[in-house]
Copies of this chain bind each other. A is one copy, B any other.
Amino acid sequence: MKSDEANFALPAFARYTQNVLLEEIWQRPQLLPRDRSIVTVAALTARHQPAEMARQFNLALDNGVTPTELAEVITHLAFYSGWGNATLAASIAKEVFETRGIAPTALADVKGNLLPVDEAFEEVRVAAVEQMIGPAFDALAGYTTSVLFHDLWLRPALTPRDRSLVTVAALVAVGQAAQIPFHVNKAMDNGLTQIQAAEIITHLAFYAGWPSAMSAADIAKGIFEKRSE
């Protein structure tokens, strides 16, 4: 992988990009390039950074993310980082698909055959939402159940583990600390190892900045300790 930034007027920045980010971080074996791509795409979308999107969307497709999966990552982020972010990412994804000659039929909406609901998880989740936002927010609680957890999360176009990658990356990337514990736990229930979770946060130090990563690591450390008790 080569850095386009090398021709920028900032030689130190170009050097860090090449030596630290591209030749070192992206090559670390703790996380596959495909996973790094999903995390990076989620961070860019959640932070509304169009300039890097086409490059990273192409890299994601090169790294084994299918076009349908990329479309689903963006759809998932509509709910987890807002419609405006997903709309922007969707317009750039469309251009990338067209440039690569990916036909719209290859992206047909996946219908039916939702994954089965995990009733035990749902019971805990519904109780937690009820306890948190109570009867004053019955519409929000209702959409959380029906649209988010009984539809979006169960769509087979993306594995639950990959949805967790997307969600955790989006939360860390914009510093939404309050929602990190729930989703790091869910990610690990969905198969993410502790080493991978730590590596996602380390990767995001570069794409969301050190302060976001340090704050997230502080929270994740507490979760790791609780789960190993």
A82 touches B209 (CB 8 A): yes
Cβ contacts under 8 Å, A140 to chain B: 198, 201-202, 205, 213-214, 217
Complex Cα distance, B224 from A184, in Å, reads: 30
- Min Cβ gap A67→B in Å is 8
Q: In the complex the two chains form, is B207's CB within 8 Å of A134's CB?
A: no
Q: Decide if A176 touches B211 in the complex (CB within 8 Å).
A: yes
The answer on a CB contact under 8 Å between A9 and B94 is yes
Q: B201 near A10 (CB under 8 angstroms)?
A: no
Instruction: List residues of chain B with CB within 8 A of the CB of A82.
Output: 43, 47, 173, 206-209, 212
- Give chain B residues whose Cβ lies under 8 Å from the Cβ of A191: none
Total A residues in contact with B, Cβ cutoff 8 Å: 94
Q: Verify B9–A87 contact, CB threshold 8 A.
A: no
Q: Which residues of B contact A65 (CB under 8 A)?
A: none
For A194, the chain B residues whose CB sits under 8 A away are 136
Contacts of A221 in B (CB 8 A): 132-134, 136-137
Q: Is the CB of B155 within 8 A of A12?
A: yes
Give chain B residues whose Cβ lies under 8 Å from the Cβ of A206: 78-79, 82-83
Q: Interface residues, chain A, CB within 8 Å of chain B?
A: 5, 8-13, 15-17, 20-21, 28, 30, 43-44, 46-49, 51-52, 71-72, 74-75, 77-88, 90-91, 93-94, 97-98, 102, 104, 107-110, 129, 132-134, 136-137, 139-140, 143-144, 147-148, 155, 157, 170-171, 173-179, 194, 198-199, 201-202, 205-215, 217-218, 220-221, 224
